[in-house]
Amino acid sequence: MPKLFGKTYTKQEILDRVGNVMQVGGARKFLLTDGPHAGVEAVEFRTGTGFSFLAVPSRGLDITAAEHNGRSLAWLSAAGEMSPMFYEEPGFGWLRNFPGGLVTTCGLTYAGAPCEDGGERLGLHGRFSNTPASNVWVDGDWDGDDYRMWALGKIRESRLFGENLVLRRKISAILGESKLWIDDAVTNEGSQRTPHMILYHINGGFPAIDTGSRLVSPTITATPRDADAEVDKEHYYLNDPPTVGYKERCYYHDMATDAEGYVYAALINHDQQFGFYVKYKKTELPEFTQWKMNGAREYVVGMEPANCRVEGRDKERAAGRLQFLKPGETREYHLEIGVLATAEEVANFEKLVASIKAA
C-alpha cells in the first residue's frame, strides 16, 4: 500500500480522494521543443514521495534528471537531453551530447575508450544512448493496493553484414516509494556471434556530491586505472571541493556481495544526510568502475556497474574479458536505484554495507 504524506493508504482510500491518480503520482510522456532538444521525447515519473525523474525514449530510455524534494541526485551536463541527431561517433565526439544524468547506458557492442578492434574504429562508449527507443509504452495500473508505473521500449543496434542486438527495457516505479527499477534483456537477433559490452554510467551530482561526501560500498580492493588515479588513491571514496584543472580518476572495484549475490553502493553527503544507492547482481555485472571527477563545473562521481572495463574493446579482448552473445542468446540485467533521504536511511545503508564487508 502506498505511504503518502506520512500515512498509508489503500487503493480505495486514494481513489476516493482524487479525480485522477496523476494528482498524487504517475508517469506521462511529453515532447521537448527548443533548440538542440527539439523533438526529444521524455517521460516524467512522480512517485508521490517527492521523488521524480525523467526517462528519455529518444535516448534509449536512459534517465536524465532525478530529484527528491528539490534536491538533485544526478549531475547534468551543459548538453542536456540533446537530440541524437547531433551524435558524433568518431573518437570522443560522444562527449558533445552526453547529458550526464542519473543513468546513461554505454554499449551494446562496445563501451569505454575509443580504440581500433578487429580492423574497426570505435568511438567512446558506443551508440546506445544516441539510439531512440521504439514501441514505447508508458502507463500505470493498480496491482492490488500498489500503483505501478512504467515505460517500456526496444532499442536496436544493427547494421548490414554485422551485429543485430536488441535491448528490451522496462523502467518502473511504485507510488509511495523513492526508488526505481531498470530491467533490461539483450538478445542477439543476428546470425553471428557478436561482442557484447554494457556499462551503466550512473552520475551523481550536487548536493549528493559535495566536499567530504563519500562513496559507500563493500569494496575489497580499488585499483587505480592509470597514473592520474594514483594521486591520493587511499582516499578514492572521499570527494574534494570543486577544483579547476582536476584530472579525472577512475578506480576498478572488486566488490563483496550479500548472501544473495547483490552489490550495494551509494553516494552519500553526510552533512545533509542525503544520497542515493544502486543495487545489482554481481553475476550479471561483474565489473564496477568509479569515475571520480571533482572538477569545477564538471563536478560528478560515476558509479558504473558493467560487464567490462573502460579502456576499450581491444584491451578487453586482449585480457580475455570480452563477452559475446551467440545467435538467439539473451542476457538480462536488473538494477535498483533508490534515494537515501534521512539520517536513519543513511545509517541503515551503512550498516548493511558494513555487514556485507564483515561477512
Would you state the pLDDT for residue 254?
A: 98
User: Structural domain of residue 350, as residue ranges?
Assistant: 3-358
Cα–Cα distance measured from residue 140 to residue 292, given in angstroms and rounded to the nearest whole number: 37
Would you state the pLDDT for residue 59?
A: 97
Question: What CATH number should be reported for the domain holding residue 326?
Answer: 2.70.98.10
The half-sphere exposure of 344 on its side-chain side, counting CA atoms within 13 A, is 0
**Are the C-beta atoms of 309 and 252 separated by less than 8 Å?**
yes
Q: How many CB atoms lie within 10 A of CB 261?
A: 11
Would you state the pLDDT for residue 172?
A: 98
**Are the C-beta atoms of 27 and 139 separated by less than 8 Å?**
yes
Tell the residue number behind the cell numbers 565526439, with chain if given.
93
CA angle 352, 354, 356 (to 5 degrees): 70
CA distances from 327 to 165, 187, 193, 195, 209 (A): 9, 8, 6, 11, 42
User: 165 by DSSP, 3-state: which?
Assistant: strand
Would you state the pLDDT for residue 359?
A: 85
Number of compact structural domains in the chain: 1
187 alpha carbon, distance to own chain's centre: 20
Would you state the pLDDT for residue 115?
A: 97
Walking along the chain (359 residues) 10 residues at a time, the average pLDDT comes out as: 93 96 97 95 98 98 98 97 91 95 98 95 96 98 97 97 97 98 98 98 98 98 97 97 97 98 98 98 98 97 98 97 98 98 98 96
**Are the C-beta atoms of 114 and 103 separated by less than 8 Å?**
no
pTM, full prediction? 0.97
Q: Is residue 124 reached through a cis peptide bond, with omega within 30 degrees of 0 on the bond before it?
A: no
The half-sphere exposure of 11 on its side-chain side, counting CA atoms within 13 A, is 9
Tell the residue number behind the cell numbers 584491451, with chain if given.
315
